[in-house]
């Protein structure tokens, strides 16, 4: 059993697990190996002892690492989902892809597409969105890998305004488990339109 760091991660896992069960995704890694974005910087000086000098190293700047939430691999044998539920990064640069929910990197070694995801809530707590935006750019600059921010379900106002408009569940499918509340298992109140995976795949 996975101990998720947030409910947003748990909700995304429920969504991802349905794709795995349908063999659209072959495998996933929760909290994959961190990206080392900045190596620590140390300075040294010579300290005089009674009979000799000793080199002393002092860390000036600590290292900086980025930890994504999920990494998963799309099934290369199911081609109909490419350009529908996900699009390759290079294709996304050449076409209008706003209607396609996920952007994938390509691995020549594994000969398949893979996505790296950072899940966020609907509220920008502790300036997390801005920090992610910086680290997202840093990862791409250093490694050529695109990390995508995903908000699974939107906040809906009393007037029916949905934020953000590109939230994952209303733009793809709602995982069955999300129909029930997290703890009690009672029917969850969902105030936006949704479909389940079966209907979503039929519509592709």
Q: Is residue 91 very low, low, confident or very high in pLDDT (cuts 50, 70, 90)? A: confident
pLDDT in tens, 121-179: 887 776 777 899 999 999 999 999 999 999 999 999 888 899 999 999 999 999 999 99
Whether residue 169 is contained in a domain is answered as: no
Whether residue 126 is contained in a domain is answered as: yes
Whether residue 199 is contained in a domain is answered as: no
Instruction: Report the domain count for the chain.
Output: 1
Query: CA-to-CA distance for 116 and 175, rounded, in angstroms?
Result: 19
Whether residue 182 is contained in a domain is answered as: no
Whether residue 180 is contained in a domain is answered as: no
Whether residue 188 is contained in a domain is answered as: no
Helix, strand, or coil (residue 186): coil
pLDDT in tens, 47-81: 988 889 999 999 999 999 999 999 999 998 887 78
Query: CA-to-CA distance for 40 and 61, rounded, in angstroms?
Result: 6
Report the 10 Å Cβ neighbour count for 189: 6
Whether residue 121 is contained in a domain is answered as: yes
Least confident of 14-18, 80-84, 107-111: 80-84
Whether residue 52 is contained in a domain is answered as: no
Query: CA-to-CA distance for 167 and 102, rounded, in angstroms?
Result: 11
- Alpha helices, DSSP H only, in the chain? 7-21, 89-94, 128-143, 168-171, 197-203
Number of H helices, E strands in the chain: 5, 12
Query: CA-to-CA distance for 14 and 145, rounded, in angstroms?
Result: 25
| Structural domain boundaries enclosing 70 | 7-38+62-153
């Amino acid at each position: 059993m996975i101990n998720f760091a947030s409910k947003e991660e748990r909700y995304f896992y429920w969504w991802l697990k349905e794709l795995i069960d349908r063999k659209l995704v072959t495998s996933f890694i929760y909290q994959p190996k961190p990206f080392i974005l900045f190596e620590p910087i140390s300075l040294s000086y010579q300290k005089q002892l009674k009979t000799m000098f000793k080199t002393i190293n002092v860390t000036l700047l600590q290292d900086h690492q980025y930890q994504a939430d999920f990494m998963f691999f799309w099934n290369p044998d199911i081609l109909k989902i490419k350009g529908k539920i996900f699009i390759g990064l290079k294709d996304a640069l050449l076409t209008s892809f706003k209607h396609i929910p996920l952007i994938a990197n390509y691995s020549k070694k594994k000969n398949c597409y893979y996505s790296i995801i950072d899940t966020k809530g609907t509220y920008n707590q502790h300036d997390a969105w801005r920090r992610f935006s910086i680290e997202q750019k840093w990862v791409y600059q250093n490694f050529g890998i695109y990390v995508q921010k995903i908000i699974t379900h939107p906040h809906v106002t009393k007037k029916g305004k949905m934020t953000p408009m590109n939230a994952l569940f209303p733009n793809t499918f709602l995982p069955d488990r999300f129909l029930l509340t997290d703890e009690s298992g009672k029917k969850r109140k969902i105030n936006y339109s949704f479909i389940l995976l079966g209907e979503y795949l039929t519509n592709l």
